[in-house]
Amino acid sequence: MEEGVVNEILQGPLRDVFDSKQLITDVSGSGNNWAVGHKLYGCQYREHIVEKLRRTAEHCDCLQCFFVIHSMGGGTGSGLGTFVLNVLEDEFPEVYRFVTSVYPSGEDDVITSPYNSVLAMKELNEHADCVLPIENESLFSIVSKIHQMTNSGKLGSTVKQNSLLTSSAGSIKTEQEKPFDAMNNIVANLLLNLTSSARFEGSLNMDLNEISMNLVPFPRLHYLVSSLTPLYTLADVNVPSRRLDQMFSDAFSKDHQLIQADPKHSLYLACALLVRGNVQVSDLRRNIERLKPSLHFVSWNQEGWKTGLCSIPPVGHSHSLLALANNTCVKPTFIELKDRFMKLYKKKAHLHHYLHVDGMEQSCFSEAISSLSDLIEEYSQLDATKDVPKTDPSRLKIAT
């Protein structure tokens, strides 16, 4: 809802990619206020948004899915972003809605970010098909790890050019890198890998619609933890299978997740592996067999693997892996969010900024927090089943 960023994109090197008619801006911004974004600008620009959406959609041969990319902490991203989500559901109920949400970190520059996030969470719970949560802290630690690796000198000379996960390989170079560019490129790579199977051929295709079909067992539990490996590729050409195996192990380690979470010690509901490049089905089988014992899967879905093989690797890499996990390890993130929300809400601090916006009432807050609590509760219940010894139901008898 302000012009600065959009104008910058339009003048940047990618200006030809975006249609200059397909943008909506205002001058004053949403002031870090979810209510302003969702209720005020939402109502004001609804017609506008619908028209622009429809115009773009009509250009599509086959509309598979909408990507909504927004932050949870601010005003426009969380408020208007979730409003757009509602509009999409009303106007295109058949088309999947994938949301990439950037969650605020603990020491955030926006005081009201817990309010904004929790209010937005309620909308995500109800209106998204899949949410890929991302935390800035995790992105930051991945970026600094890559820097450390490349600058330590040990590997420096052998790292292949353009193969850093953070480099904008293949794109038009800007003159100077901005601080968030490296982090944003990780998210960009996530989306590129996600759509790779729709763009390139492979021996086991995996379309976007298969993701929610396979990974979302219950409609509300649609938060998928993602991890990307490898972070960089070494320059030597032949890939020992040990390094390939390392890629699979990394994808399940704590350091490579895009949110602060540890999937290995939590419960998996389902897991998808999207592999790109020179990887065959036998590599996939071997690694699944190898990793399976160290992972906890929910009792009714012990074999919950979904796999995709795409033959074209990302620019600069020989192979890559995107792991998506429906895992209870997202729970701590949500609990932390709830705690920070409650701290402010108990004192009713900053509440008046929200309440003076038309259509915003205090019940919105209580509904949002109870929606979040329900979600946490659902994950806790699943977690509780983890340690219960499995009772095998008696085997089915089939008359032969």
Q: Applying CB under 8 A, does 387 fall inside the site for another protein?
A: no
> What one-character DSSP code corresponds to residue 152?
S
For another protein, which is the closer residue by CB, 55 or 292? 292
Q: Which residues does residue 71 pair with via DSSP β-bridges, in sequence order?
A: 102
Q: Kindly state whether residue 28 participates in binding another protein, applying the rule CB under 8 A.
A: no
Q: What CA–CA distance (Å, rounded) separates 22 from 322?
A: 31
* Closest distance of CB 98 from another protein, Å: 13
Say if strands 96-103 and 319-327 run parallel, antiparallel, or are unpaired.
unpaired
Q: What is the residue-wise DSSP string for 119-142?
A: HHHHHHHHH-SEEEEEEHHHHHHH
Q: Between 358 and 392, whose beta carbon lies closer to another protein? A: 392
Q: State the minimum distance, in angstroms, from the CB of residue 59 to another protein.
A: 14
State which residue, 232 or 297, has the beta carbon closest to another protein: 297
Write the binding mask 175 to 204 for another protein: x where contact by CB under 8 A, - elsewhere: --------------------------x-xx
Out of 288, 315, 344, 351, point to the residue binding another protein (CB under 8 A): 288
Strand partners, 257: 227
Assess 292 for contact with another protein (CB under 8 A). Answer: yes
**303 vs 358 by CB, closer to another protein:** 303
Asked if 282 touches another protein (CB under 8 A), the answer is yes
Q: How far apart are CA 164 and CA 315, in angstroms?
A: 10
Residues facing residue 310 across a β-bridge: 276
Structure tokens at 335: 């609990």
The pattern of x and - marking residues 298 through 327 that bind another protein according to CB under 8 A reads: --xx-xxxxx-x------------------
The binder of another protein chosen from 24, 69, 217, 262 (CB under 8 A): 217
Instruction: Give the Cα separation of 124 and 276 in Å (integer).
Output: 29
* 380 membership: H or E segment, kind and range: helix 362-384
Give the x-and-dash track for 73-112 against another protein (CB under 8 A): ----------------------------------------
373 binds another protein (CB under 8 A): no
d(CA 217, CA 179): 38
Q: What contacts 302, CB < 8 A, 6 or more positions away?
A: none
Contacts (CB under 8 A) with another protein, residues 39-68: 61-62, 64
Residue number, 47 or 392, with CB nearest to another protein? 392
Closest CB to another protein among 102 and 273?
273
CA 231/CA 374 separation, integer angstroms: 36
Q: By CB under 8 A, is residue 378 in contact with another protein? A: no
| The residue count for the chain | 400
Largest CA distance in the chain: 74
Nearer to another protein among residue 178 and residue 395 (C-beta): 395
- If one asks whether residue 395 binds another protein (CB under 8 A), the answer comes out as yes
* Half-sphere CA count of 164, side-chain side, radius 13 A: 23
Query: What is the per-residue DSSP string for 205-228?
Result: ---HHHHHHHH-SSTT--BEEEEE
Interacting residue ranges for another protein, rule: CB under 8 A:
61-62, 64, 201, 203-205, 207, 209-210, 213-218, 270, 280-283, 285, 288-289, 292, 300-301, 303-307, 309, 393, 395-396, 398, 400
